[in-house]
Amino acid sequence: MNFLKLALFELQESTLLVGRSLRSLFSRPRYFREIILQMDAIGVGSLVIILLTGFFTGGVLALQTGSTLSSFGAKGYSGRLVSSSLVRELGPVLTALMIAGRVGSGIAAELGSMLVSEQIDAMRALGTDPVRKLVAPRMVALLVMVPALTVVCIGVGTVGGLLTSRTLLGLTTSVYLSSAKEAFRTNDLLGSLIKAVSFALIVAVVGCRTGLRTSGGTVGVGRSTTQSVVVSSILILVVDFFITKALQTLLPPGR
pTM comes to: 0.90
The residue-averaged pLDDT of 91-103 equals 94
Residue 109 pLDDT exceeds 60: yes
Residue 44 covered by a domain: yes
Instruction: Give the per-residue pLDDT at 226.
Output: 92
Closest CA to 110 of 134, 94, 88, 127: 134
Distance CA 15, CA 33 (A): 25
**Per-residue confidence band for 208, with pLDDT thresholds at 50, 70 and 90:** very high
Please state, in angstroms and as integers, the Cα–Cα distance from residue 240 to each residue in 37, 81, 122, 210, 233, following that order.
29, 20, 39, 21, 11
Residue 222 covered by a domain: yes
Residue 56 pLDDT exceeds 90: yes
Lowest-pLDDT choice from 86-90, 137-141, 180-184, 221-225: 180-184
Residue 98 covered by a domain: yes
Residue 75 pLDDT exceeds 80: no
Domain of 73?
Answer: 32-250
Instruction: Give the per-residue pLDDT at 65.
Output: 82
| CB distance 136 to 39 below 8 Å | no
The predicted-structure confidence for 118-174, as pLDDT tens digits, reads as follows 888 888 888 888 888 899 999 999 999 999 999 999 999 999 999 998 888 888 888
Instruction: Give the per-residue pLDDT at 254.
Output: 58
| CB distance 54 to 154 below 8 Å | yes
Distance CA 69, CA 67 (A): 5
> Number of structural domains, the chain?
1
Residue 52 covered by a domain: yes
Residue 66 covered by a domain: yes
Residue 235 pLDDT exceeds 90: yes
Residue 242 covered by a domain: yes
**Alpha-carbon dihedral sign for residues 73, 79, 82, 88:** negative
Residue 23 covered by a domain: no
Distance CA 35, CA 137 (A): 4
Residue 17 covered by a domain: no
